[in-house]
């Protein structure tokens, strides 16, 4: 029997190896998903590590726990002001788009493999959701952004379409195992799950904000631990009532990330790190679970289904879902191409294994191959496609300042930054001549990638970024002074 020391040694070495390899290939634009899964396969029973692992139930449990923190962190990092203009479009893609993808691919799979439509629909349902982390990790490493509202649209769609894929997968398995089951019951279950998930996520997210602000912990380190417990509670309570726990946890993160609470920046950084650790653990586990020799056996079938998904299923779902929204043909083609499949489909592929669906191992191997193909083909070409379709722009990296401000409950001050316009009348003036409100102060000036601690005689220059500790009631006055 393996000792705890040996187990910890193996785990630590796998994580460190994954991080080092990801760092080496970071500038090349290789998706970390491929690298982490590759390390898992290398360490698996058919790799150099020779680690025997075939427990699909354990892999599913690890994946579920990892997804809780990944989705919550994704919600925390989502700026509601940025995504609000595309909520309808993203919601349509995350529901109708996922359904169309699953149905179209189900039809094509049934024709390619000469199987029943339900069996084909199961594969289509499993691979119907996209992976935001894979998409934007590639774009950011190539120093590229996306024009207009493409970035928030794709992020919101990818962060919110997993519950629909999970529901379709579970519903299809139910129909396969119980042919006499009424499809109306499945549809009512969908409405119930999404409704409970949305309501539960919103109100429990609000409760989390109130709790974090009301709890007067003696140590700052307790706040992230409290937040972890709340995350698990939100997921489990919602799931216990029959709702979508994954939708609830994403909405809760969205609510928390767009609210003011104590130690907000520290908590967000903590969950960023926890999300990375969760991704590594999930991908390594899934890599250990697969047998590479079995992938070779489904290579031709996998390529055909991947082509059907990439060139037929996803484009059709995008064009139909966005038919009544204002997107030009270039944007629709790019959205269609940004359909990378990630870890969620592989986790969902363990559901048929556990449920005892006929030929479940074949489904798992096909799905695994589809994910690898999608990430390799679409992942490498995302940035060139964005440039070719003229939807790319230089990446606007967030500035990092040497000071932070953590507001407390009830505080009416916040730290904001303003850029001095090149045609502003304040350029060339000393701070003492600006007549700022008495309860607002410029605490730092960022100029030419350097910080300047200002004094009354400091003269402003065009392009300066001013970090101002301001009373919220004076924001409009500060904007007027700086921009005129």
Per the DSSP assignment, residues forming a β-bridge with 393 are 145
Residues of each domain in the chain carrying CATH 3.30.70.1450: 413-483
Q: What pLDDT does residue 139 have? A: 58
Portions of the chain given CATH number 1.20.1530.20: 4-394
Query: For residue 452, what pLDDT is reported?
Result: 83
What's the pLDDT score for residue 475?
Answer: 78
CATH assignment, 4-394: 1.20.1530.20
From residue 123, give the alpha-carbon distance in Å to each of 127, 138, 140, 252, 371: 6, 26, 31, 30, 12
| Per-residue confidence in pLDDT tens, the chain, 484 aa | 678 888 788 888 888 888 887 777 765 555 677 778 888 888 888 887 888 888 888 888 988 898 899 889 888 888 888 888 999 999 999 999 999 999 999 999 999 999 999 999 999 999 998 876 666 566 555 566 788 788 888 888 888 888 899 999 999 998 898 887 777 877 888 889 989 999 999 999 999 999 988 887 878 788 889 999 999 999 999 999 989 998 999 999 999 999 888 888 888 889 988 988 888 888 888 888 888 888 888 999 999 999 999 999 999 999 999 998 988 999 999 999 988 888 788 889 999 999 888 889 999 999 999 988 888 888 778 888 888 998 887 766 666 666 666 665 556 777 778 788 877 788 888 888 877 777 778 888 888 777 888 888 888 888 888 888 887 777 778 777 777 6
C-alpha 164/C-alpha 159 separation (Å) is 11
Distance CA 135, CA 157 (A): 12
Following DSSP, what letter does each residue of 93-108 receive, concatenated?
A: IIIIIHHHHHHHHHHH
Buried (b) or exposed (e) across 162-175, using 16+ Cβ within 10 A? bbbbbbbbbbbbeb
CATH fourth-level superfamily of 413-483: Regulator of K+ conductance, C-terminal domain (3.30.70.1450)
Q: How far apart are CA 217 and CA 224, in angstroms?
A: 11
pLDDT of residue 200: 94
């Amino acid at each position: 029997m393996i000792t705890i020391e040996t187990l910890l040694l193996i785990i630590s070495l796998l994580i460190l190896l994954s991080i080092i390899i990801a760092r080496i290939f970071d500038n090349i634009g290789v998706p970390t998903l491929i690298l982490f899964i590759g390390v898992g396969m290398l360490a698996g029973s058919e790799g150099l590590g020779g680690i025997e692992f075939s427990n699909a139930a354990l892999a599913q449990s690890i994946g579920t726990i990892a997804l809780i923190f990944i989705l919550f962190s994704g919600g925390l990092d989502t700026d509601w002001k940025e995504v609000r203009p595309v909520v309808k479009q993203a919601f349509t893609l995350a529901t109708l788009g996922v359904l169309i993808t699953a149905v179209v691919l189900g039809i094509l799979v049934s024709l390619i493999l000469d199987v029943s439509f339900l069996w084909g629909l199961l594969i289509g349902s499993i691979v119907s959701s996209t992976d935001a982390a894979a998409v934007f990790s590639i774009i950011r490493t190539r120093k590229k952004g996306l024009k207009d509202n493409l970035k928030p649209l794709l992020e919101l769609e990818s962060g919110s379409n997993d519950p629909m894929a999970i529901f379709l997968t579970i519903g299809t398995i139910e129909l396969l195992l119980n042919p006499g089951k009424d499809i109306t019951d499945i549809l009512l279950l969908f409405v119930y799950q999404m409704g409970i998930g949305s309501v539960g996520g919103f109100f429990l997210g609000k409760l989390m904000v109130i709790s974090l602000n009301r709890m007067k912990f003696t140590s700052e380190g307790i706040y992230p631990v409290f937040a972890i417990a709340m995350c698990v509670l939100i997921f489990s309570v919602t799931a216990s009532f029959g709702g979508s726990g994954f939708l609830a946890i994403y909405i809760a993160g969205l609510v928390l990330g767009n609210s003011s609470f104590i130690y907000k920046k520290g908590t967000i950084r903590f969950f960023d790190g926890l999300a990375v650790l969760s991704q590594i653990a999930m991908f390594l586990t899934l890599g250990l679970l697969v047998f590479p020799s079995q992938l070779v056996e489904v290579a031709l079938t996998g390529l055909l289904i991947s082509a059907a998904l990439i060139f037929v299923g996803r484009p059709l779902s995008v064009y139909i879902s966005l038919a009544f929204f204002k997107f030009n043909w270039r944007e629709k083609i790019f959205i269609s191409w940004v359909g990378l499949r990630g870890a969620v489909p592989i986790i969902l592929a363990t559901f048929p294994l556990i449920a005892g669906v006929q030929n479940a191992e074949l489904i798992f191997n096909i799905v695994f191959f589809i994910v690898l193909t999608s990430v390799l083909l679409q992942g490498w070409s995302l940035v060139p496609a964005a440039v070719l379709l003229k939807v790319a722009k230089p990446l606007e990296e967030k500035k990092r300042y040497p000071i932070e401000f953590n507001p407390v409950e009830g505080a009416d001050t916040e730290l904001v930054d303003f850029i001095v316009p090149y045609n502003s009348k304040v350029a060339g003036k000393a701070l003492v001549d600006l007549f700022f409100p008495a309860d607002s102060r410029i605490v730092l000036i960022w100029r030419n990638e350097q910080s300047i601690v200002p004094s009354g005689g400091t003269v402003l220059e065009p392009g300066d970024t001013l970090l101002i500790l301001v009373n919220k009631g004076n924001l409009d006055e500060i904007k007027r002074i700086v921009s005129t």
